[in-house]
Each structure stands twice: as C-alpha cells, then as structure tokens.
Amino acid sequence: MNQKKNNTGKGIVCLIVLLVAIAISGFFAADALEKSKLVTDENGVTMFQEGGIKLGLDLAGGVSITYQTVVENPDPVDLADTQYKLLQRVQNYSSEAEVYLEGTNRINIDIPGVSDANQVLEELGKPGSLYFYDSNQNIILEGTDVASAQGASYKDQTTGALEYVVQLTFTEEGTKKFAEATTANVGKTIAIVYDGVMYSNPVVQEPITGGQCTISGMDSYEEADILASTIRIGSLSLELEELRSNVVGAKLGQEAITTSLTAAAIGIAIVCVFMCFVYRLPGFASCLALMLYTTITIILLAAFEVTLTLPGIAGIILSLGMAVDANVIIFTRIKEEIGVGKTVKSAIKTGFAKALSAIVDGNITTLIAAAVLFLKGSGTVKGFATTLALGIVVSMFTALFVTKFTLNALYELGFTDPKLYGVRKAKKPINFLGKKKLWFAISAVVMVIGVGAMFMNKSSIGGAFNYGLDFKGGTSTNVTFNEDMSLERISAEVVPVVEEITNDAGTQTQKVAGTTEVIIKTRTLSVEERQELDAALVENFGVDESKIVAESISGAISNEMKKDAFLATGIATVFMLIYIWVRFKNISFAASAVLALVHDVIIVLACYAIAKWSMGSTAIACLLTIVGYSINATIVIFDRIREHIQMEQKEYGMLTSDLKDVVNLSITETFTRSLNTSLTTYIMVLILYIMGVSSIREFSLPLMAGILCGTYSSICLTGSMFYMMSKNQKFETKKEEEEEWRP
C-alpha cells in the first residue's frame, strides 16, 4: 500500500513539474511572439525589439538599398559576379537577404531583420575601387584578386598579449601576383588603398607564395574588422555608388503572419485531438510533449536570432511532422507489445527501446541534410536548413524524453489498464510487392505526363515551369500615392487592379517607410502593359503619372544560388546514402531510399509543370521539405525490415523466410504509422492552405502534393525496389557475429 502511495505521489510530482515547465516556456514563448512585432522609436525609426523573433523581408520588411555602377554600360558577366559577391556580404546580416539586378546597371539589396538604412550603409561600406600599391606606387593587385578577408584575434605565445589581425586569401591569379610582389618587396611596404584613401601600409616580412597572408598591428578587433570589411567590399568586380536606400514594409504583411499563427494553432489542436482519439492515453502524453516542443522552438528561434521567413516555416512544419511521427512510432510499438501479452509497464519500456533506432536514424539522416544545406546553400536554402535542424533537435528531445517522462508519470498515477493504451494484434501481411508493376506504372505515367507538360509549357509560356519573380525577374513599379496606403488597402484594392492587367497571381508589394510610396513587383510587363497599368493607377487612385517609375529587375535567385542549392542537395543526398549504407550494412537500403527521393522530387516537379504552379524561392523549400519528409518515412519501413532479418539471423544464422514475405510484413506493420503521420502533417499544411493568403496557398498546395507523394513512395515503391535489389542475397550471419549471439 505504501509503495502504491509513493508511486502515486511520484506521478503527481512529475506531472506538476511538466505542467510548470510548459507554463514557464509558454510565458517566454508568448513574450517572444509579442516582441516579434516591429516598434517605432521617438525618431520615427522602425526596429525589432530585443528578445523577439526576427521576421524576414516577406513577413516584416527591412532595408532596401540600390547601388548603381560607376561604368554606364557594365559587362553583364561582371554585373552578375558583383551581384553574387554582394549576396555573400549581406548574408552576414541575414541568410534571407536578397540581391537582384534592376535595369542594366543597378543592383538592389533587400535585407530583412534590420531597419536602419544608414547603419547598414555605414557597416557595409561604399563599394568603390581597391588597389594594392608597392612603395614605387605601382599597382600590384586589384580588389578582384582578393577572395576573402576576415578580422581575427589570437594570443601571442611569448608575451601573452592579444593580437588583432586581418587574414587575406587571394584568388589563383591574385596568388601569383602577390607572390611576385612580396618577393620583390621584402622589407618594403605595400599600401592598401580604397577609393583614394590608404587604409593600411604593412611591411613585407618575407615572400608570400601560398595565397594567404596576415596583416598585423591593429589596436582592436573592431579596427581589424573594419579593414577586412573595406577589403571585402572593394573586391567586387565593379565599382558601385549608392543610388537610394529605404526602409520597406513586408511583402506579405501582418495578415500573413496572423493567419499563419492562427492556422498553426488550429492545426496543432486538430492534431492533438486526432492523437488522443487514435492513441488514447499515450496520445494525450504526446499532446503535452508537442506543447512543450512548440514553446521551446519559439524560444530558441528568438534566442538564436533566426530570421524567420515563409521557407523557414516549412522547416518548422516538417520538424513538427517528425515530432508527431516519433510519437506515432513509439505508440505503435507499445500497442504491439501489449498485443503479444506484455504488461503496460513492460510495453512502455520495450516500445521506446524498439522505436529508438528508427527515430534516431530518421532524424539523423534529415539532420545530415540540414547541415549540408546550411553549409553549402545560401539564402532561402540556408534559412530552411536552420529552422529544420533546430526543430529536429527539439522534436527528438520531446519525443524521446518528455513523452516517456509523461507516460511513466501517468502510469504511476494508476493509469495501468491496457485499454487506455490500445492493443494491436498481428495483422495478415498485405501483398504490396505483388502490385509492384502497378506502382511503377503509376509513377511512370505521372512522370511522362509531367515531361509532356514541360514541353507544352515551353511553347506556351516560354519555359518548362511557371517561374516566379524569384527565378526569372520581372518589372518593379514604384508608385507615389496621394495618401498613406495601409497594407490591408494595398492587398484589397491595389493588388486586384494590378493582377487584372497581369493575369498573374504572383504580385508582390512593399511600402517604403515614412513615405506614401509603394513598390509593386510583377512578372515582366510589355510596354503596352506598363502603359495600361499606369493608366489604371491614375484612374483608380488619382496618382500623378509622373510619379510612377518602372524598371526591369532580375530574379533574386541568381544562377549561382541555383547552383548552390543543387550542389547542396546533391551532397546531402550522397551523405544520406552513406549514412544509411553504414547503419543498415546493406547498399540496397541506401540505393532504394535515394531512388525514392529522386522519384518524389521528379513527381512534384511534374505537378509544378502540369498545374503551372508558380515556381519561386518557396519551391526550393518545398522540394527540400519533401526530401526530408520522404527519407524519414522510408527509414521507418527499412528499420522494420532490418529488425525482422536480424531476428532470424540471430535464431537461425540466416534469413529462412522468403524476403518477399518479410518486406510485405514490414510494410504492413508500419502501414498505419505511415498513414497517421502523413495525415497529421497534411492537416497542418491543409489548414495553412485554407486560411493563408495567396502566397501561403502557393506554398502549401505543392507541399500537400509532396506529402502524398512521399507517403506513396515509402509504402509502395521503396520496399519493391529493395526487394528487387536484394532478392538474390542470402543474408547469412558471419561466423563471428553468430558467436556473439550465442550464450
């Protein structure tokens, strides 16, 4: 009796601790959300509050700076190179910064998360000319010969004093020039001159031939950092001058933020109801864990100052889906253990133990992808990777520790009836492999239709896909209205007028802070369409036609950024393949998983072509989300196949059952899990689609298609591909492994 009371008391204490943790984290999360709103100080400067989540340009606005080349007609190659290099510079402010070409000699920079244009200009520096001179005032290097420049500090091993330096790395051509110059000028100075002003005049100590050098003698890290910034900005291919700078409003506006938050709350509530209905008491435990997951994620987004954009929200949705998935895997295992006659306490312990490998492998595989995407990607890709990685780490913690903690506490409180946890009896295997020809045929037909749609699109709209502003650019129209237009009025009144002329739903609008100007970005407009738009704005809003300025703009996603995205995805896929190969000790697992990923990406691209969905930066995030989602679902099925094979190897020294039967059984056992996980994630995205603004819907619809495709490929294709690659293998146990398993 005393032991029972002690257990009850322990359970009560544990639940109180959990509820207090949820309440405290909820308070800080609510505070972070409240502080995410922009405020205006007494000087009229709009800024982010300390402790809030930094929202991206699409959600909260930022600073927009336009540079113009000093040369009137620059080389397009040099202009593109300068655009890309500027992107690398401004990503120090935010991974979601955008850099695009405007007209034939202008570069526009949009930086989210900041609101003081003058401060940005001061820190970024004026992109002018940079030269290295020898003591005879001969130019020995130009700014384009410098690959990178970084401020650094180190402790002198002799004196113990802190030294501040600038570390330079040169290009291949710059390395040759610098080697010749330093060899000829040992003991002499080399001056670094930027826009006619000498910023440094270091003495050459010895010939430098390795392509790297260090400039010492700075009094502080700030001094070293300023010199490094000056050298970096001076290494651009073209000399630039500032044309204008503005603080601009959000592309999507407060409405998008509000509806997204509301949709997320409704989606989580529906998911919680679903989990409680299907999984009973464990479902309730998962709801508490998901509440903690949500609040912790919000707190960490604010603490790490992650700039949150629409693609970033995709990463959070995916990690939330994986958090639910981990719980579903665990609860399914618990049901199975109770079904074979184990006690509830034993079933909880064994269920978590058996689910561990699938959860860890699935999450680590996706984390590998996120890490590579962050390191090798840029812009949208990097922002997606950040939120995805953060969410995965939190979801693993809440699923493996918080859910287990809660279930054990509820058990100690006396909730020991197996009916509260559910019972799952063994099911007759479904013959999925018997229909493999049908599955392959369905995929092939969709792919063929997709390829056909791409060719048709090329002839009708000029490209395989309906590329949005981010990819192919368009027209930017700056309009000065006679009154200050609110974001709501712009969305409700101005955008419909514009889209009636463009017949395109991809219109983006931004307000210029402190003015009545509005920037309207559309697909590329013909001369006649520009004139028609000007006339419509004059007629509907009475604006002065002389205050309407239109410019052609390039895509914010440059060719280099596209290459970065493809390269990062390719590298991530290779690393995932290697990880699966090592963990499952069979190349067939890895190869079929990667083939499924390729299949999913191709099918979703086919959907983009068939439905003519707009393809912009959100499309990259959507495809990356699908890759992460699909690989996780596949890992769960493969984990079950591996388990069955190992059980027979342990007992008989080899696989005695027909491999086809093992694969069918494994897919059948995980079938409910696959459907439930897909359904909960689908619900989240569906609510976003129903409640979101047009840009949110543009993102949600392909994501829903991707979730369905990922579920289909995991259930119907991966097992069939694995079987076809492995059906001739004997799966015999090595002698040393046999000896380890024997008592």
Please write down the HEC assignment for all residues of 665-681: HHHHHHHHHHHHHHHHH
Answer yes or no: is 375 within a domain: yes
Place 450 in a pLDDT band, splitting at 50, 70 and 90. Answer: very high
Let me know whether 146 and 78 are in one domain: no
Residue 555 has pLDDT above 90, yes or no: no
Q: How far apart are the first and last CA of the chain?
A: 39
Residue 735 pLDDT more than 50? no
Instruction: Assign 477 a pLDDT band (cuts: 50, 70, 90).
Output: confident
- Final residue belonging to a domain, choices 532, 553, 574: 553
Phi, psi at 654, each rounded to 5°:
-165, 170
Q: What are 413-429's pLDDT values in tens digits?
A: 888 888 888 887 777 89
**Domain identity same for 213 and 153:** yes
Go through the chain and tell me how many residues it has.
743
Domain extent at residue 495: 474-553
Q: Is residue 305 part of a domain?
A: yes
Same domain, 412 and 520: no
Q: Compute the half-sphere exposure of residue 401: CA atoms within 13 Å on the CB side of its CA.
A: 9
Tell me which of 515, 538, 553 is where a domain ends.
553
Closest CA to 641 of 619, 669, 614, 621: 669
Q: Is the CB of residue 731 less than 8 Å from the CB of residue 640? A: no
Confidence at residue 2, expressed as pLDDT on a 0 to 100 scale: 55
Most confident of 337-346, 512-521, 565-574: 337-346
Residues 87 and 187 reside in one and the same domain: no
In a domain, 34, yes or no: no
Q: How many angstroms separate the CA atoms of 187 and 125, rounded?
A: 31
Total domains in the chain come to: 4
CATH value at residue 500: 3.30.70
Is residue 454 one of the residues assigned to a domain?
no
pTM greater than 0.85: no
Same domain, yes or no, for 288 and 436? yes
Nearest CA-CA partner of 619 in 712, 506, 523: 506
Q: How many other C-beta atoms can be found within 10 angstroms of the C-beta atom of residue 186?
A: 12
Q: Are 268 and 415 part of one and the same domain? A: yes
Which residue from 361, 403, 406, 309 is spatially nearest to 617, judged by alpha carbons? 309
Q: For residues 327 and 348, give the distance between their C-alpha atoms in angstroms, rounded to a whole number.
A: 12
In a domain, residue 643? The reply is: yes
Tens digit of each residue's pLDDT (9 = 90 or more) over 366-400:
888 888 878 776 666 677 778 888 888 898 899 88
Distance of CA 465 to the CA centre of its chain: 22
CATH code assigned at 215: 3.30.1360.200
Q: Is the pLDDT of residue 741 over 50?
A: no
Residue 37 amino acid letter:
K
Long-range contacts of 529-536 (CB under 8 A, 24+ apart): 529/501, 529/502, 530/475, 530/477, 532/501, 533/477, 533/498, 533/501, 536/497, 536/498, 536/500, 536/501
Flag whether 177 is in a domain.
Answer: yes
Helix, strand, or coil here: 478?
Answer: strand
Is residue 310 over pLDDT 90? Answer: no
Same domain? For 590 and 730 the reply is yes
The answer to whether position 13 is within a domain reads no
CATH at 74? 3.30.70.3400
Contact 152, 167 (CB under 8 A): yes
Shared domain check, 102 and 171 = no
The β-bridge relationship of strands 307-308 and 54-55 is parallel
* φ, ψ dihedrals at 133, nearest 5°: -115, 145
Q: Has residue 534 got a pLDDT over 80?
A: yes
Asked if the structure places residue 637 within a domain, the reply is yes
From 517, 114, 635, 94, select the one nearest 311 (Cα to Cα). Answer: 94
The upper half-sphere exposure of residue 449, i.e. CA atoms within 13 Å in the direction of its Cβ, equals: 14
Query: What are the start-end ranges of the H helices in 555-586?
Result: 559-584
Looking at the structure, tell me whether residues 423 and 297 fall in a common domain.
yes
Give the whole-angstrom CA distance, residue 127 versus residue 74. Answer: 15
Q: In the chain, how long is the greatest CA-to-CA distance?
A: 96
What does each C-alpha distance from 378 to 85, 95, 445, 622, 706 come to in angstroms? 12, 7, 34, 16, 23
Query: Are residues 97 and 176 located together in one domain of the fold?
Result: no
Average pLDDT over residues 59-65: 71
Q: Are residues 510 and 590 in the same domain?
A: no
For residues 143 and 234, the answer to whether their CB atoms sit within 8 Å is yes
For residue 14, pLDDT over 70 is answered with yes
* β-strand partners of 308: 55
Cα distance between residue 409 and residue 10, in whole Å: 7
Does one domain contain both 609 and 731?
A: yes
**What whole-number distance in Å separates Cα of residue 721 and Cα of residue 708?**
19
Mean pLDDT lowest among 194-208, 219-233, 429-443: 219-233
CA distances from 354 to 105, 264, 347, 642 (A): 61, 31, 10, 12
Q: Which residue, of 235, 265, 288, is where some domain finishes? A: 235
Rg (CA), the chain: 29
Query: Looking at residue 512, what DSSP letter applies?
Result: B
